[in-house]
Structure formats: structure tokens, C-alpha cells
Amino acid sequence: MKEPYTTILTIAGSDPSAGAGLQGDIKTAMVMGVYALTAVTAVTVQNSQSADAILPVSADLLEQQIDALASDITIDAVKIGMLPTAESIEAVRHCIDRHKLRNIVVDPIASPTLASARCGSSSAFDTLKKCLLPIADIITPNVHEAEMLLGATAGSRSATELAVLLCNEFGSRSALVKGGDCAGDSITDALYEARSGCQMLFFSHSIVSANTHGTGCALSTAIACGLARRRSLHQAAADAERTVHDLIRAGANFAFGKGGYGPLGTLSNLTSNKTNNCIP
């Protein structure tokens, strides 16, 4: 009997610079030893200098992609990133229900629904909160996105408080609120699991690097990979935090493009650095 691949399905946009989105998720899954299936939600135009355009894939085509994969291949976990329209969010929810997909990781940071809310369009934003957050095993916003989801005043709550409020407000099973966008040399991320009431803090020192494009995508994908490999939620989150920190450090000394905003390190960078004892 042949052993099946451990798989995740990443539902996200295409990033031609391969720092974030589907391309970044595939690289992260390789680091984690998991096979990444993909469903594209949008095609973007971006490089190290700017993100200039986005073309959403139709909700019908998105649904067909997921149906084709789920009807043929066992999916061990799902990472949900960029969903540009309310219709695409609803399509993903239909597929999750129809195929009884599990281990759902929702990354609101990767979703332009938050940006659309800033521009006055609340349809996708409200649909995200109604359709996907309640069925998520874990959601992974940073502090600013968590505040926006909750309508909280900026800086009024700690990461731990925000994680608890998110689960209570939207019914998510757990929340990991990242403090990496906050000022200072020390970073604190807070994990809260609603069922047990367990809280966990992850502390790390900020790494000076211009190559942090796709950090949020990498963390949510790494968590999905851990869940796919039957790790506990806390272990999956801890492994993901450590892996992303290592990837940032592995890519810190590389130059990328004219804009200088480059991707995290790759599997080869990580392996090379570990071989040279640069990463413990």
C-alpha cells in the first residue's frame, strides 16, 4: 500500500513575484514537508515596488477548481487567503460544506476584503465575518486587522484581549493575533483557544530585514501544514512561528528587485543556514 501525500489546499491569489499568495504558500508547504494543492482566486500585478492591479476569478470558476480537487484528492487542511469578492467568499463556504473540509485556517490579512472596507465597500467584509470566521479552526490577523474586524479603537486592546474578543464575537475556534506590525524590538503574538480557554504567547526579537513580503501568508500556511500533519493546534502554531522566524532570518541578507521589498528565505536558504549553524 502506497503512502498518500499529506496535503493542504491553499485558496488565494496569484503573486507573480512569488513572495506571497499561492506561490509563497507552495514554498512554505515545501519547507513544512506538505504537498500544496491550489485554487486561484485572483490574478495580481505586483513586484518588489508596488501592487498595481487585481483581476478576480469568477466565483463559479473558483468553485469548480475546489470541486475538482476535493472530489479526487484527500485534503488534510485548508488555508484561505485572498478572497476579493463576497461571491468568492460564499463559493468557498459552499465548497467547505459540500466536501466536509476540515482544519480551516483563515488569514484575514491576505484578504483585500479588509482593504475594500476601508474604501467604503462593506459587502465582502461583512460576508467574510458571516461565512468564514464562524467555521474557522483558527484565524490569523495582526493587531490592526483584528481591531478592524472588531471595530475596536486602535491601540486600545492587547493582542491577547483581541484574540479572545475575536473568538467570542465571530465563533472562531481559535485566534492567533500577531503583534509583528507594532513598533519595538520585541514581538508578541497571542494565541487563544475558545473551547479550552487556553492562552499562549509567542515572544521573538524583531529581525532587521527588507525581505518580509508574504510573512502573514507563510505563517497561516505553516499552521495549516501542522494541522494537516495532525499536530495539536498549539503545536502547529508554535512550529509555524518558529519556521517563519527562521525563514525571515534566512532571507535577510539577499537583494531582491529595485524596490527592495523581497520575499522570505527559501528552502535552500534555510537548509544552507542550518548546515552552517546560522539557525539553531
Close Cβ partners of 135 (under 8 Å, ≥ 6 residues apart): 93, 96, 104
Cα separation, 243 vs 256, whole angstroms: 21
**The pLDDT of residue 46:** 87
Q: Per-domain residue ranges for the chain?
A: 7-275
**The pLDDT of residue 113:** 44
Q: Which of these is catalytic: 13, 217, 226, 243?
A: 217
Q: Which of these is catalytic: 212, 226, 243, 262?
A: 212
Q: Which of these is catalytic: 81, 214, 251, 262?
A: 214
Active site residue 33: no
Q: Which of these is catalytic: 21, 24, 179, 216?
A: 216
Active site residue 79: no
Classify burial at 55, counting beta carbons within 10 Å of its beta carbon; exposed 0-12, middle 13-18, buried 19 or more: exposed
Classify burial at 259, counting beta carbons within 10 Å of its beta carbon; exposed 0-12, middle 13-18, buried 19 or more: middle
Q: Which of these is catalytic: 28, 38, 215, 221?
A: 215
pLDDT tens-digit readout, 25-55: 999 999 999 999 999 999 999 888 888 888 9
**The pLDDT of residue 261:** 85
What mean pLDDT is reported for the chain?
Answer: 89
Active site residue 275: no
Nearest Cα to Cα of residue 85 among 104, 103, 60, 102: 60
Which residue stretches of the chain have pLDDT < 50? 112-121, 275-280
Classified as helix, coil or strand, 254 is coil
Nearest Cα to Cα of residue 175 among 154, 156, 150, 151: 150
Classified as helix, coil or strand, 230 is coil
Active site residue 178: yes
CATH for the 7-275 domain, from 3.40.1190.20, 1.10.287.3510, 3.30.450.20, 1.10.10.10? 3.40.1190.20
Q: Which of these is catalytic: 19, 129, 178, 188?
A: 178
Which helix or strand (DSSP H or E) is residue 189 part of? strand 186-193
Q: Alpha carbon 49 to chain centroid distance?
A: 22
**The pLDDT of residue 271:** 61
